[in-house]
Amino acid sequence: MQTVEKLTDTLKNNRLKITPQRLMIFKVLENNTSHPSAEEIYKKVKKVYPSVSFTTIYKTLETLRDLGEIKELTIDKDRKHYDPDISVHHHFICSDCREIYDIHEAFTANIKLDDSLRKDFSVSGFQISFFGVCSKCSNSDRF
């Protein structure tokens, strides 16, 4: 996602309106690496704008996704998560605490799209989901 400042320009260029609620959602997402769910964003925005609705959260997230500013993550079986980091990277989800961690690793360069794959599919991207238990949870398991 761009900076909030640049993002407001992008909205203007698309004849979209800049509202306090939206600005707050942008601020919550800016530099956010916690992969929040809609509810987590809602709760944070609600602290500043108590009357904000889920409708606004979902609509704004949809708008940001359509602008290509954020990515909707389908990795948690229970709910969607949102990622303002649209660069190529992958995720680890802890089966215990459900937290999602970023994985920026060099090995991803080793994934070459095979010709047979190219023939059958027009691949626009891929995403690796790692499963397991994070060190925080595996440590606490010992006690």
Q: Which residues of the chain form contacts with DNA (CB under 7 A)?
A: 12, 15-22, 37-39, 49, 51-56, 58-60, 62-63, 78-80
Q: Which helix (DSSP H) or strand (DSSP E) does residue 54 occupy?
A: helix 54-66
Q: Tell me how far apart the alpha carbons of residues 108 and 78 are, in angstroms, rounded to a whole number.
A: 27
66 binds, among a copy of itself, DNA, none (CB under 5 to 8 A by kind): none
| Least distance (Å) between residue 67 CB and a copy of itself | 17
Cβ distance 132 to 120 under 8 Å? no
Alpha-carbon Rg for the chain in angstroms: 18
Q: Which helix (H) or strand (E) holds 40?
A: helix 38-48
The encoded tokens of residue 135 equal 């060190």
Which residues inside 110-139 make contact with a copy of itself, applying CB under 8 A?
Answer: 110-112, 114, 116-117, 119-135, 138
With a CB cutoff of 8 Å and minimum separation 6, the contacts of 11 are 17, 18, 22
Q: With H, G, I as helix, E, B as strand and everything else as coil, classify residue 70.
A: coil
Per CB under 8 A, 33 contacts a copy of itself: no
Two tokens, residue 124: 């626009």
Site string for a copy of itself, 93-112 (x = CB under 8 A): -xx-----x-x-xxx--xxx
The binder of 59, among a copy of itself, DNA, none, by C-beta within 5 to 8 A per type, is: DNA
Known binding residues for Zn(2+) are 94, 97, 134, 137
* Binding residues vs a copy of itself (CB under 8 A): 72, 74-77, 80, 92, 94-95, 101, 103, 105-107, 110-112, 114, 116-117, 119-135, 138
